Structure 1
Amino acid sequence: MDDETTRALGELGLTQDDLEAYAAISAGAAPSPKWMPHRLLNLGLIEDSPDGYIACDPRAAVRRLLTAEHEVLSRTVQRLALLPALEQLAAHFEPHRMYSGPGSEFLPTGDEMNTRIGEVLKAATRELCTAQPAPPEERDPSVRHMGRQRGRAAVSHGVVHRALYNSAALTDEATAEYVAELLEAGGEARVTAARMPRMVLVDGAHLFVDNVLSGEHSEPDAGWHVTDRAIVAWARSVYDMFWWQATRWQDLAPTVSEATSTQLQRRILRELEAGASQAQVGPRLGLAERSVHKALADLREALGMMSMYQVMIWWARTPERELP
């Protein structure tokens, strides 16, 4: 007997002693006195009679077993067909459950990250919120182009797009062109000079963020796809905090060409606003103290003001605070 046949018989619970006993009974001989008959009896291969055991046709036993197994398989298939209906109930459970299970996936390359964002956006139905803290010149041009293309596609399918930019984007021609299309389509765009996290939020259910875990070796545009309900909701509240403190693009865009302050003067004012003295600003920005005093004096003169107190009050109120 080959090994495969031995294994197949073993799955039916038969042993070599059972096979030898069946052969003996079929020949009209007595099996070994140590042999236990229950396995052959259970399979219907032998019958017990007053005169001893009688061998039965194994083909009949096989037919009975096949019929029984087919019935089991039929019931199993019927039960399996009901499982998708049970799984669909998750649509009612997920939006209302209090606690979430594991809901984040690390995407170690920029290609994987961008592919996943594209897949999620294709299924978006309500809203796309993006926050881009990096100035345009620091971003990969191909990634920027891909982001604009995804935004256009989402808006064309009726998805509301809110875009939050670093104020340096105001002077970027490609971004300004895209924002004009976005505003025309009913979307919104705002700018801020505040430091914000980069993120993409889709339909309040998907969050994409940069990889900030130490010890992970990944490309610059790699990150995490988060679907945990609580974390996505928290990220949305962070996004809203930056959004409502930012300035509408259309309100600030004209200021770029009409600004009274220069970029250097705004950098100095931000240091003063943070609590640094004029003497401390120079080393922080790599400037001589005399250069700091001159930049502030020029701004004070351009504003027609008498003191730095007046300048700082102006700075607290002007939209130019959001310029780079």
Structure 2
Amino acid sequence: MALVKVVLPFERDQGPRYCVLTHFMKRKHTLKADQDITTAPNTSRLTEAELDIYRRALRGEQLDPSDPVLTELIGRGILLPNTHDVGTYVPTSYTYVESQLTAAVQRALAQATEAMAGIPAHVRELEAEQQRYNHCPSPAGALQLTSVPNVNAETIRAIQTAEFEILTAQPGYRRPKVLKGALPRDLEAAQRGVAVRTIYRTSGRMNATQREWVGTMTRAGAQVRTLNEDFLRLIIADRRHAFFEVYNEDGTVQPAAAWYTQDRAVCAMLAAHFRLQWERADPWVPEANDWAPEGRAGGEPELQGQTVTTKMQRTILRGIVAGKNHKTIGKGLDVSERTVTAQVAKLRNALGFETVMQLTHWWATSPERLLP
């Protein structure tokens, strides 16, 4: 990788002030400053030494051809050898000099533009190499966004630039205006192949606008689930950008504010938390299992009589559906594998089922799956 400095003049009548553009370039496109941009002058004004040689040439004096200052002026097209008087030099027209200087600067700008265009790809190459060797630098700290416009601006940017995954957890009520405004952006992400997964509260199934959002998004390939318990509000894009609520010391949440971090460790931890909530949540496919009972509040399912399952058994069933074995489920509940097996057998006998497959099929259609 080469470090190339391109020096450009400002206005000629303002003296030798410079604008330096520094660019890192890919090795395969490396430029040698003393070879490819030799015609780009350090300044459009002559130095005192150059001006002295120029004046001597105008006076017709004999000049030393090995003089580096003379060589520079010839190389830049400002002086030319006099073919009628060896050892003397003649100036080119000022219009020609102007065209040469302009062309040199334009070439330098074109090369600098090409170098700048290669920076993102070069950085991605370096990032890929770091990941190959399990090196994940984490910029420290988090930025507190203290207004709705700031929160929206950063989250929209993260969602619009997401490449493979968007995870969102929305435990609160989302106004119809907010849902309708977010739909085009969320839909565009799903349609370009980004895996979109969203968790809502179970009560959201009663929200007509939310059902419409879910229907549109799931048809585009997104996945939505609901959870009938408290969980953190999160937005995670590509596990590189994470947004979460700002909590006060007393546990209350600051309204219209959010933390934004690119710390890889924090993003990974929050993504792991999301996965735990996701495994406990129930799929929301409006065409298959949507429900919105009239006149009911709180989003609780209509259950006839006493429930069959206990809270522990419901947690076990969610673990089975998520593909976990009894030992792993037991660790999560802080009970033994034998206890999990016994609970499954007890519930199977209570329902009159012979196999776990029958039990999981019943669970998939039972309103009890919407209980905490």
User: TM-score if structure 2 supplies the norm length?
Assistant: 0.47
1:127 match: 165
Amino acid at match of 2:230: R
> What are the residue-to-residue correspondences of 1:94-109 with 2, within 5 Å?
95=131, 96-98=134-136, 100-109=138-147
CA separation in 2, counterparts of 1:322 and 1:107? 34
Give the Å deviation of 1:90: 4.1
1:313–1:122 CA distance, 2 compared to 1 (3 A): closer
2:239 match: 204
In the alignment, structure 1 segments of 5+ residues that lack a partner are 1-7, 9-57, 68-76, 268-298
2:212 match: 177
> What are the residue-to-residue correspondences of 1:306-321 with 2, within 5 Å?
313=310, 317=314, 319-320=367-368
Assess if the C-alpha contact under 8 Å between 1:109 and 1:219 holds in 2.
no
In the alignment, structure 2 segments of 5+ residues that lack a partner are 1-14, 16-46, 54-68, 70-107, 315-365
Instruction: Give per-residue Cα distances to partners, 1:179-205, cap 9 Å, x unaligned.
Output: 112221222111011211000111221
Assess if the C-alpha contact under 8 Å between 2:243 and 2:258 holds in 1.
yes
Alignment pair present for 1:91 and 2:104: no
Instruction: Give per-residue Cα distances to partners, 1:55-98, cap 9 Å, x unaligned.
Output: xxx9449879xx7xxxxxxxxx9xx9789767565423564325
Give the Å deviation of 1:147: 3.0
CA separation in 2, counterparts of 1:220 and 1:141? 19
Q: Which entry has the higher C-alpha Rg, 1 or 2?
A: 1
1:94–1:316 CA distance, 2 compared to 1 (3 A): same
Amino acid at match of 2:281: A
CA separation in 2, counterparts of 1:203 and 1:238? 15
CA separation in 1, counterparts of 2:281 and 2:264? 26
CA separation in 1, counterparts of 2:299 and 2:197? 30
* 2:155 pairs with one of 110, 117, 124: 117
Assess if the C-alpha contact under 8 Å between 1:170 and 1:256 holds in 2.
yes
CA separation in 2, counterparts of 1:225 and 1:248? 28
Assess if the C-alpha contact under 8 Å between 1:107 and 1:223 holds in 2.
yes
Amino acid at match of 1:109: S
- Structure of higher RCO (CA pairs closer than 8 Å, 6+ residues apart): 1
1:219–1:213 CA distance, 2 compared to 1 (3 A): closer
Amino acid at match of 1:92: A
1:239 match: 274
Give the Å deviation of 1:322: 2.6
> What are the residue-to-residue correspondences of 1:144-293 with 2, within 5 Å?
144-214=179-249, 220-250=255-285, 253-254=289-290, 256-257=292-293
CA separation in 2, counterparts of 1:179 and 1:265? 16
Amino acid at match of 1:247: D
Give the Å deviation of 1:221: 2.8
CA separation in 2, counterparts of 1:315 and 1:265? 21
Amino acid at match of 2:255: P
Assess if the C-alpha contact under 8 Å between 2:284 and 2:290 holds in 1.
no
CA separation in 2, counterparts of 1:106 and 1:94? 28
1:54 match: none
Give the Å deviation of 1:142: 3.5
How many aligned positions are there? 216
1:237–1:63 CA distance, 2 compared to 1 (3 A): farther
User: TM-score if structure 1 supplies the norm length?
Assistant: 0.53
Give the Å deviation of 1:320: 3.6
Assess if the C-alpha contact under 8 Å between 2:164 and 2:238 holds in 1.
yes
> What are the residue-to-residue correspondences of 1:54-65 with 2, within 5 Å?
59-60=48-49
Give the Å deviation of 1:167: 0.5
Assess if the C-alpha contact under 8 Å between 2:234 and 2:244 holds in 1.
yes
Greater CA drift, 236-245 or 81-90? 81-90
Q: How many percent identity over aligned positions? A: 23
Query: RMSD over aligned Cα, in angstroms?
Result: 4.3
Give the Å deviation of 1:321: 5.6
